[in-house]
Chains A and B, each alone.
Chain A
Amino acid sequence: MNRIPLDRKKESQVIGSAKLYTKAYVTDVPVYNTPITPRENFRMMLDGKVPFWMPSDQDIFTINPIILPDNVSRAFVIDIEPLAEEKNGGKDMFGVDWEYVPSVGGSMVKPGRPMLSDIADWEKIVKFPNLDDYDWEGSAKKNSPYIDRNKIVMSWVFNGLFERLISFLDFEAAAMALLDEEQQEYVHALLSKLCDLYDDLFGRLQKHYGVEMIYFHDDWGSQRAPFFSLATCREMLVPYLRRVADSCHKRGMYLFFHCCGQNELLVPAMIEAGVDIWVPQTMNDVDMLLEKYGDKMSFGKTPDPLAMDASDEEIFKAAKSFVDKYKKYKNVYCFGGMQARGNPAFAKAIREMYFISREEYNKL
């Protein structure tokens, strides 16, 4: 694609408005006169090309339909019909009961009463959902007119692989099952069937909402270390995460991996599985990861906090230093949407990053 020089005046023009869904509300956001769409730009980055600018999460349109019980139980419905806070929590699509914790805006399974006390019984006890039971057509009809297709359309898929195992067994039993030779065969069988479900789910998300990127939620670590070794991960999870990635890629979709924790040691597993992009939490050394693995997958990086009353000069400096530091990798995405929503200075910095990276990326 031909590079187009920055025309700041032209690209500052607002040429329309589009909807933005959040958990709490739906709002209108401006559409700028960009030389290519944010969607095309994001895809360029994920395809290993030099994008026109450094993508940010302002370039993503998220839809987590209300019809999917996992989105309600995990308290992450992002739909044209936002969910009242008190309705969050409850049963996920397998019937596991989640308790909403208002102070963190998320849910967890109350520990101590797992659905499965023995993973060997999973086939008898775990009832896989029939995705035909959800009103896909009705939901798509309601949402379709408002989905901003200039952006890359993404949907979250909760409870991934290990998280799903935890939801069935509780944490300790799930962790032991990964290593216990007598339980491993059941883990393999359960995860394999789960991959079939996810494959079906991804297809429906694409068909009904035009989803192009799956935000696959599977936390693998604590604040200080991964939960399990790279060897365990390779043996027990990578084959299934690879199937998840394949389910995305065969449809021209991308796999955005959500994986909380200090997971530096597990990055090779993510790469082997075919993850397209991961946003490491701040306890990970993203700069080291970029040096080591920056040519193998994309990374998200959260800029340093910016004071609400930061001056224009400070905003420009912050934006410039972020772009200058990460432009060489060509595949860093600025993860800062939540800060941008609550902090006008931060929102301005993200906008400024657009202009700075437009110029800088043309030089790469």
Chain B
Amino acid sequence: MGEVFLQSLITGVTVGSAYALVGLGFAIIFNASDVVNFAQGEFVMIGAMSAVSLLAVGLPFVVAIGFALLITVAIGMMLEKFAIEPAKSATVVSTIIITIGASIFLRGAALLIWGKNFHSLPAFSGEIPIHLGSATLTPQSLWVMGVTALMVLLVRSFFKRTVTGKAILACSANPMAASLMGIPVRRMMLFSYGLSAFLGGVAGVLIAPIAFTSYDAGMMLGLKGFAAAILGGLGNPMGAVAGGVVLGVLESLGAGLISSGYKDAIAFIILLLVLFFKPQGLFGRAGSDRV
């Protein structure tokens, strides 16, 4: 029992880190534009698949990853420019459908470009596992956790300390007032989508050596990231990160103790329970209805 627990914890935190990055991206876009971006998972897939392709072309590892992230950021910005901006006055249901449409569109494009095959990246620094008692930890897991922690800290201080970060927060609080104060709201929006895509791409590149990636790998990851953001309380970036890690750990504990086939079901059952009993999320504040 003890070993299962420790191993599940390690796997859970690793997978949870990816959910955390995706969830963080959700929270950033939700804050900036009140849109839940269902295409967030596709950023993960695009980051990973582009890195695989660029590596196969013969680019050095670091360069390939750099370009893959650039491609992902560009696609994130195009999503904002061509799908979100033109539908300014859309309702919640409309934006949900637009972003689901975008995710299906990107998946379709990936299918055309990369086909149905599974791909994976080589591990960043070897495959020799580290033994912790009876459990094992791969170096790649350390990369995933470390880079995720770094990203979270960077994003946090970006919103806290830089003028651009504060400008984005101002846009989310009140876009009208922000634009009157001379903040270019549209550009900030574009930036938020780019940042969010970047985080998704990073998650993709990080987990590609552990989990195989394919054109449809983004869907489940996106949904889990959304679940993480909801668990943490929508619009709370650090809550989304915590929600992601919690989700990853609970899910792999469930998989280890019950059955791996029900892994995804466990994640969503937890989510439903949280929504039923604490709809504002584990770390969110309760709000009230406006008439």
Answer yes or no: do A and B interact. Answer: no
Name A residues whose Cβ lies closer than 8 Å to a Cβ of B.
Answer: none
